[in-house]
Chain A
Amino acid sequence: MRPEQLQCSALPPRDGSPARPVSAAAPASERIGVEELFREHAQFVASFLMRLGTPSQDVEDLLQEVFVVAHRKGGFVKGPAQPRSWLGAIATNVARTGHRSRRRRREDADSPTVEQLSAQAPSESESLSRVRLARALDALPLEQRAAFVLFELEGESCESIAAVWGVPVGTVYSRLHHARRRFLEVYESAGDGTSVRRERGRP
């Protein structure tokens, strides 16, 4: 199967819920309710939404929507996936809907992430680096970006991501591979073109 096919099959359902079914019959001891999820992970979800390119003014609304979906799903049921991966999958779908809505409203003419990140960069040299990073992230399709952010920036394991998306872990690797390649290409091209990969054996 080609990577593109794997990627498509790896997409979580588009109703805002991750692929992993949440059993309504799960015992209470195995379930984490939305209140606890919010208390423990709301900040993570908000930051994750920001890293997916959600404009800052929309983060709160989408954050709430993520937990509404989590509530509808009956909360998180403990298993191979981690709660953050599960919430990340929900946030990805919610963000996708948000991106669509904004496109319809034609409100995101410029890349919000570039603006957000540039504004947060503390110095000129870091600003340049931050803009490059933002452009590279913005170049990724949403699903690739979600996998990239979850793994590279949030430190979620591929196994956990695979579990919530209901795909083999190899599919996550594949998605990450494509995401990394694209990310590094854009990051390099946004600078002076120098490769960010050192050759083996060199300091």
Chain B
Amino acid sequence: MKRLIDDPEIARELRAEMQRYANEQAHVDLKRVYTRLEAGLPLIAAQIARPHARLPGRTWSSLSSTTKLLIVAAIGGSSIAGISAFRAGEPAVVQPLPGSLSAAPTPGSDQPLPASHGGAAQPPSRGSMQPAAPEPAGRASKLPDAAVPQPVTPGAQPLAAGSAPASLTPEPSSRQATVPGAARSRGETSSGSRREIAQLARIKALLEQDPAAARRLIRASQREFPAGLLVEEREGLDVIALFALAQEERARRGAERFIARYPQSPLRPKLERLIADARE
């Protein structure tokens, strides 16, 4: 069967128009979709693994708003390590994706979501979502920071009971946010969370261009969302901003405190590199 486009008996005008249309591509931000997908698949896998807990249809549109919120929240964390990879206001341009779409498992990504996140299904390990593609160990550390979004589940690291975290930011409110067991408000509106995520994206966008402004926004965001979903990410970015401002000693202490408090954080390798660079 011959395609109309190739059929000389069809008017040239129509064939040309079909060819033009066939050459056009939808303008979508594939990175954003992939990050969202990557964050959501463990939840889907968990529902599949627990058939009695299945939702009627395990698709994005069928997920509860709470689950979606968790997934959306994960977007903010997923791009933390690739600071320059996802920026607020970045045009939705189709770009080739990094070669490491099956992001390597990081210790933090395997942690269960805390119940204070709304009691959604806990994501299984990434190995369970990619049964056919075992990941080489240590792959994440080989990936360029700026190009590859590393998987993060914000707040996924359960805070160790009894540990007294030292806040990286001077505001008492942020210290309060990291107190173990501090309940995140179940009544937090999704619009509030979206705003928090948007702020984090803005922080990341500012980080390289104007780290001082990024720190101001971090403090403002901490005040606005002292018990928000992205406390850990903001704290990590705050330390990175200090390094960018060449406040190396302060940044080094902050980084060490951050690593002590969040040993599973995917930001840890980056911070360790920054500490090492500062020493040289």
Contact = CB atoms under 8 A, between A and B. Distances in A.
Interface of A: 15-16, 28, 31, 33-36, 38-39, 42-43, 46-47, 49-51, 56, 59-61, 63-65, 67-69, 71-72, 74-75, 94, 97, 101, 117, 120, 126, 129-130, 132-133, 151-155, 158, 173, 176, 180, 187, 196-198, 200
B189 interface: no
- Which of A33, A126, A154 has most B Cβ within 10 Å? A33
Interface string B28-62: 11101110110011001100100000000111110
Residue in B20, B48, B129 with the greatest tally of chain A CB atoms within 10 Å: B20
B97 interface: yes
B25 A133 contact: no
A50 B58 contact: no
A133 B18 contact: yes
A126 B20 contact: yes
Nearest to B102: A35
B18 A47 contact: no
6 contacts: A35-B102, A38-B34, A61-B60, A67-B37, A133-B18, A153-B18
B214 to A, nearest CB: 27
Given A31-B132, A151-B3, A196 B60 contact: no
Contact of B37 (A38, A49, A74, A132): A38
Contacts of B3: 151-152, 155
Contacts of B30: 38, 42-43, 46
A28 B134 CA distance: 10
Contacts of B142: none
A60 B57 CA distance: 19
A153 B15 CA distance: 10
B273 to A, nearest CB: 26
Contacts of A133: 14, 17-18, 21
B32 A72 contact: no
Given A43-B94, A197-B10, A71 B44 contact: yes
B86 to A, nearest CB: 14
B5 interface: yes
A71 B41 contact: yes
A65 B26 contact: no
A72 B21 contact: no
A33 B26 contact: no
B26 A56 contact: yes
B143 to A, nearest CB: 14
Contact of A59 (B18, B28, B44, B61): B28
A117 B21 contact: yes
A149 B27 CA distance: 18
Interface residues of B, number: 48
Contacts of B94: 43, 46
B24 interface: yes
Nearest to A101: B61
Which 5 residue pairs across A and B have the least CB separation, nearest first? A35-B102, A28-B132, A46-B26, A35-B101, A50-B26
Given A133-B18, A152-B4, A46 B132 contact: no
B41 to A, nearest CB: 6
A140 to B, nearest CB: 13
B9 A198 contact: yes
Given A28-B133, A75-B132, A97-B59, 8 more contacts: A31-B132, A39-B99, A68-B58, A68-B60, A132-B17, A155-B22, A187-B14, A197-B11
B247 interface: no
A60 B33 contact: yes
A46 B59 contact: no
A162 to B, nearest CB: 12
A72 B44 contact: yes
A67 B22 CA distance: 22
Contact of A63 (B4, B5, B28): B28
A201 B133 CA distance: 56
Contacts of B161: none
Contact of B33 (A16, A42, A71): A42
Given A56-B26, A60-B29, A198 B133 contact: no
A151 B7 CA distance: 13
Contacts of A187: 14
B1 interface: yes
A42 B38 CA distance: 14
